[in-house]
Amino acid sequence: MEKMNLEKMKLLPLMCLFVLMWTEQTFADGTLKVKEDEVVVLNCSFDNTDMTNKKFDWKKDGEDFYFYENGTDVKVASNIKPRVTHFQESLKSGNVSIRIKPVTVQDSGTYTCIYPDPKKKKTYATIQLEVGTCPKPNVRALNRSKNIVLVECKADRAFPEPEIELQNSNNETIPENKTEYFDNGTIILTAEVTKEDFYTCVVRQQPPICHEIRSDPNLLGVPGASGVLQLSSGLLLLPLFGLLKELFSVWP
C-alpha cells in the first residue's frame, strides 16, 4: 500500500508538468469591438516557444489571412497587406500577435491563430473582431403640407446597425413612420411633425464603439402652425417696416 502511494507521488510532478505545458497553448475565445481607423492588435502567444524559425498562420473566417514560416516567408492577403504586420522582436518569446493599422469595417470577422505542431493537436486562439463607425446624422424636411412636415433623419455608413430616432427640443422621441436599412450602412428614418421646433437626429451604437451621436438641431417650420420662426420673423419685420416708413416720409 505504501509502495503504491510512493509511486503515485513520483508521478504527480510529471502529471502537473504535462498539464502546465498543455494549458500554456490554450486560448480563450474573445470578442474585440473597436472604432474604424483605430489600431488593433490581435493577441496570440505560445509561451516558452521560440517562433523565429517556426511557422504560424492567421485565418479570417476560415480563409488564409497572414502566414509566417521560418522568418523568410510571409504571405498576407492582398487587400490588407500594407496594413498588417507581426512583431518580429517578440517571436523569441512566442508572441505571434499581429497588428492591423488602421482597421476598417471590412476587417470585421472571426480570426483564428494556428500553430501546427506535429506532436499535438493544432493549438489556436479565436478572436471575433467587430469594427464599427460613428457617423454624424443629419435631419431635414422632405415635404411640407398644411400643419404637417415630413422629416428625414439619416446616417451614412453606420456599422453595426445602430438605433436611430428623431427628438424635439425637449429630447422627446417623435414616433417614426418607418425606418429603412441599406447594405452600405445607410439608415433612414422618416417621421411627421405638426409643431414648429428644433429637431435632432440621434444615433446610438453599443459601447465601446460609440454611445450617442447627435445631429445639429434643425429648426423646422410647419405651415399654418404658430412657433418660434413665425414669432421671430414678425419681431424682425416690424422694425424694418417702421424704418422704411421714416425714410420715405423724409424723402424730398
The rounded distance, in Å, linking the Cα atoms of 65 and 90 is 20
Locate the DSSP E strands across 116-237: 123-132, 138-145, 148-155, 163-167, 173-174, 178-181, 187-193, 197-204, 212-214, 218-220
pLDDT of amino acid 30: 86
pLDDT of amino acid 225: 66
Ranges of the chain with pLDDT below 50: 2-4, 6, 8-28, 228-252
CB atoms within 10 A of CB 25: 20
Q: Are 193 and 164 in contact (CB under 8 A)?
A: no
CATH 2.60.40.10 boundaries in the chain: 29-132, 138-244
Residues in the chain: 252
Q: Which three-class secondary structure state does DSSP give residue 135?
A: coil
Q: Which three-class secondary structure state does DSSP give residue 38?
A: coil
The rounded distance, in Å, linking the Cα atoms of 158 and 188 is 11
pLDDT of amino acid 143: 94
Contacts of 9 (CB under 8 A, 6+ apart): none
pLDDT of amino acid 72: 72
User: What 3 state SS string does 53-115 have?
Assistant: CCEEEEEECCEEEEEEECCCEEEECCCCHHHEEECHHHHHHCECCEEECCCCHHHCEEEEEEE
Q: What φ, ψ does residue 245 adopt, rounded to 5°?
A: -65, -40
pLDDT of amino acid 68: 93
Across-strand partners of 145?
A: 148
CATH superfamily for 29-132 is: Immunoglobulins (2.60.40.10)
Grid coordinates in use for 79?
487587400
Element (H, E) at 20: helix 2-23
Please report where in the chains the cell 516567408 appears, as a residue: 73
The rounded distance, in Å, linking the Cα atoms of 250 and 247 is 6
Question: Using CA atoms in the order 187, 188, 191, 196, what is the torsion angle rounded to 10 degrees?
Answer: 100
pLDDT of amino acid 217: 97
Domain 138-244 = CATH 3.40.630.30: no
